[in-house]
Structure 1
Amino acid sequence: MDELVEVVVGRVGRAKGIRGEVSIDLRTDEPGRRFYAGAKLKMASGRELTVEKTIWQRGKLLVTFADHPDRTAVEKLNGEFLSTKVSAAELPSDDDEYFDRQLVGLKVLDHLGEPAGTVREVQHMPSQDLIAVDTPAGIRLIPFVKALVPSVDMEAGTLQLADVNGLLEDLE
């Protein structure tokens, strides 16, 4: 049987209008896969919500949930994290993209191929994603861009860094 993993896909934001729409602070790069009519999403309390309708408005995803017909009903959801179970084998739509769960735990190699640490987490910042790498000298934040992380080998369980001063060491 296919192993399932639970992933956080968004956080409920403010209510919009009077018909029960709420904005979603996305925690997924593929909202179309996670937010569609009929999708089941779970809150931290364990309570399940069913997506009734989605619409994009000014670059923001608005969602209407079944059983939450108006603004008063959805205002109580503000701040709730939403998760869903997905196949552990599921891959992103594009070849050069990775889910956070694929990167966490990978061995990090320096530009010479020597072990340098382990990916602890992926941080999603406004301008770019960062990988937090546990190294013997402490945690290092490295922009997850091709110029600095030219190679990710999922089969080998590694990612290799470019030859750039300051990625792993402190510069004086």
Structure 2
Amino acid sequence: MADYYNVGKITSAHGIKGEVKVYPLTNEPERFYDLEYVWIFDDQQKMNKYYIEYVKITSKGVCVKLKGIDTRNDAERLKGAFLKVDAQNALKLEEDEYFIKDLIGMRVYTEEDEYLGKLVEVFQTGANDVYVIKDEKNEILIPAIKDVVKKVDVENKVMVVHLLEGL
């Protein structure tokens, strides 16, 4: 199966013409203007391709009109669904940037090769992301900053960190 990346989550219907309100899960909400289509899983976990008719970005988020979703009832059925893009439409990452889906499940070690646990969640706080690392007994929160995260090996699913005083 191809890689898919979440770019937004439908929070509600908007108006009576089938528009949906989308909470953007991207650092660049303007990217919705450049998307021709998105993918959405249906109830049977089958991917459905929806072409985008138009996009409006407001102070409260993104409003999207999907082709074939023409009534408020159609739009309400999509509430909670994730809008996804395939790998060819994913944003190109800068150096030291990673997709959250590629980080989840990484084994995390200190620079001294002490196993801390697996990265299980990423909180996006605005200032910097925070990684949640869990093992059988403990949970550690690590800021995703260069002083802490020393190496990320996506291919081997390994991260090396330097624990600052107090972590």
Bucket of the pairwise TM-score, normalised by the shorter protein:
0.7 to 0.9
Amino acid at match of 2:133: V
Match of 1:141 in 2: 141
Match of 2:97 in 1: 97
- Percent identity between matched residues is 26
Deviation at 1:65, TM superposition (A): 0.7
Q: Secondary structure at the match of 2:75?
A: helix
Q: Secondary structure at the match of 2:87?
A: strand
Match of 2:13 in 1: 15
Amino acid at match of 1:134: K
Unaligned stretches of 5+ residues in structure 1: 168-172
Which string of whole-angstrom CA distances, capped at 9 and with x for unpartnered residues, describes residues 55-105 of structure 1? 211261111111223445423322233334436xx7742112101122123
- Distance change in 2, residues 1:117/1:91 (3 Å): farther
Q: Does 1:129 align with 2:96?
A: no
Q: Secondary structure at the match of 2:131?
A: strand
- Distance change in 2, residues 1:37/1:159 (3 Å): closer
Match of 1:41 in 2: 39
Amino acid at match of 2:11: G
Deviation at 1:30, TM superposition (A): 5.2
Amino acid at match of 1:106: M
Q: Secondary structure at the match of 1:4?
A: coil
Match of 1:61 in 2: 62
Once residues 91 and 67 of structure 1 are traced to their aligned partners in structure 2, the CA distance between those partners, rounded to angstroms, is 26
Q: Secondary structure at the match of 2:102?
A: helix
Unaligned stretches of 5+ residues in structure 2: none
Once residues 149 and 136 of structure 1 are traced to their aligned partners in structure 2, the CA distance between those partners, rounded to angstroms, is 22
- TM-score calculated relative to the size of structure 1: 0.71
- Distance change in 2, residues 1:111/1:91 (3 Å): farther
RMSD: 3.2
The answer to whether the 8 A contact 1:44-1:82 is kept is no
- TM-score calculated relative to the size of structure 2: 0.73
